[in-house]
């Protein structure tokens, strides 16, 4: 990395650690503040910018932002919470070498490598102040990017030698969360990227991973998996609220939006085209029907058979799946619970694939079971 860019990145990184230490000291009191150790990364994170791809992780929703190059399509839902956490940050390709510098830089957005450097740097509160204290820093940084545009290596250059037109600028991308932003900052520091906040590398095969942090096929598939929307279930029965002993109660599932086997696709776009895509497919494996009644007091039919979805038809229950109670529920109703299990697989445009842990969804309703007695 060049000396100017190295100094700026080191300074903003140091300011982050210092700020976190001061905040921790204030929060913990004077004794803790003087205890030494500490460090870490900020819990604050910048607002998202640019085009986004949305999905969900174990902690809630996430938004993949920054490089404007991640998109999600298919059965993906920005507010659907899963217990599957995707990678917090990664590097992905954003520009070829000819998109290193233009005379109007910085443009205010991530339009080329030079503008990206400033755009990313401004996410650190100390960046502007540090530039102001380093005489000529802004000019020198832009001149170094101009040299790279002209395929000339600046001082202390750690990128490709020689610089070629098909070399690629890799940039950080992260989930829109405190952990995601902290991960991106750590990635910048740990990877010692050629230009501080981004790095030039020779061309790489999509999904191969390459240097530390570069997005792999499995990383992208994990983003799609975290966003995958398994359908919500709604039980419908016939009869609906009250049933009778020894009379089959039809139990069907109304799948949200009629989708039984959801699929979504995550795509990294680069140079105006799909550079890498990952498809995640959930296939219904089984549907189980159960109750909180004593196991000896009910029996089921249809559910659990291979390929049996117990699907409702036009919102109505069918005879495909049923539960029969052998005893009345008494003073309190019993429940009927439906649990659907999906196998989840992934494939990518790089030709690889694999499996994720199964996904599940369920729904429970109450039902009163009466015993009809004959009168003589």
CA 72, 75, 77, 83 dihedral sign is: negative
Residue 149 has pLDDT above 50, yes or no: yes
Which tokens belong to 308? 């049996």
pLDDT of residue 68: 52
pLDDT grade for 275, boundaries at 50, 70 and 90: very high
CA pair distance 229, 80, nearest whole angstrom? 7
Q: Which CATH number fits domain 230-370: 2.160.20, 3.40.50, 3.30.230, 2.60.40?
A: 2.60.40
Q: Please report the pLDDT score of residue 169 as a whole number.
A: 96
pLDDT surpassing 70 at residue 225: yes
Give the range with max mean pLDDT: 15-24, 54-63, 239-248. 239-248
pLDDT in tens, 168-206: 999 998 877 778 888 889 888 888 888 989 999 998 889
pLDDT one-digit tens code per residue, 134-148: 788 899 999 999 999
Q: What is the mean pLDDT of residues 238-265?
A: 94
User: Which tokens hold the place of 302?
Assistant: 């249809």
- Outline which parts of the chain fall under CATH 2.60.40: 230-370
Torsions phi, psi for 109 (to 5 deg): -135, 175
Yes or no: say if 102 and 290 are a contact pair by the CB < 8 Å rule.
no
Q: What is the DSSP string of 311-344?
A: B-BTTB--TTSEEEESS--TTS-EEEEEEEEEEE
pLDDT of residue 316: 96
CA–CA distance, 16 with 45 (Å, rounded to integer): 12
CB burial class (10 A; 0-12, 13-18, 19+) of residue 241? exposed
pLDDT band at 83 (very low <50, low <70, confident <90, very high): low
Predicted local distance difference test score (pLDDT) of residue 101: 97
Q: 82 or 29, which is more confident?
A: 82
């Amino acid at each position: 990395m060049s000396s100017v860019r190295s100094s700026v990145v080191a300074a903003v990184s140091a300011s982050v650690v210092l700020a976190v230490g001061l905040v921790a000291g204030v929060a913990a009191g004077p004794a803790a503040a003087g205890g030494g150790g500490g460090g870490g990364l900020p819990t604050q994170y910048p607002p998202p910018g640019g085009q986004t791809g949305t999905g969900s992780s174990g902690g809630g929703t996430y938004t993949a932002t920054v490089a404007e190059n991640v998109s999600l399509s298919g059965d993906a839902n920005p507010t659907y919470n899963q217990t599957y956490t995707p990678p917090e940050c990664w590097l992905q390709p954003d520009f070829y070498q000819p998109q290193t510098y233009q005379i109007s830089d910085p443009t205010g957005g991530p339009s080329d490598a030079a503008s990206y450097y400033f755009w990313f740097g401004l996410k650190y509160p100390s960046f502007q102040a540090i530039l102001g204290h380093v005489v000529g820093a802004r000019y020198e940084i832009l001149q170094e990017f101009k040299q790279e545009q002209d395929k000339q290596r600046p001082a202390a250059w750690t990128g490709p030698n020689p610089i070629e037109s098909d070399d690629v600028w890799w940039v950080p991308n992260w989930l829109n969360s405190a952990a995601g932003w902290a991960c991106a900052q750590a990635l910048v520091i740990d990877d010692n990227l050629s230009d501080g906040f981004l790095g030039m590398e020779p061309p790489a095969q999509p999904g191969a991973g390459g240097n530390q942090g570069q997005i792999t096929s499995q990383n992208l598939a994990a983003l799609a998996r975290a966003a995958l929307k398994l359908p919500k279930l709604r039980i419908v029965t016939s009869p609906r609220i009250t049933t009778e002993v020894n009379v089959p109660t039809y139990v069907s599932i109304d799948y949200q939006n009629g989708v039984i086997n959801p699929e979504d696709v995550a795509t990294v776009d680069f140079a105006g085209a799909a550079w890498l895509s990952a498809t995640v497919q959930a296939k219904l494996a089984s549907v189980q029907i159960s109750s909180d009644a004593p196991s000896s007091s009910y029996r089921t039919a249809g559910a659990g058979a291979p390929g049996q979805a117990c699907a409702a038809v036009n919102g109505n229950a069918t005879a495909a799946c049923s539960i029969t109670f052998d005893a009345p529920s008494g003073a309190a109703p019993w429940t009927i619970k439906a649990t659907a299990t999906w196998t989840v697989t992934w494939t990518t445009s790089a030709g690889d694939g694999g499996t994720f842990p199964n996904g599940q969804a369920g729904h429970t309703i109450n039902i009163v079971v009466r015993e009809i007695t004959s009168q003589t």
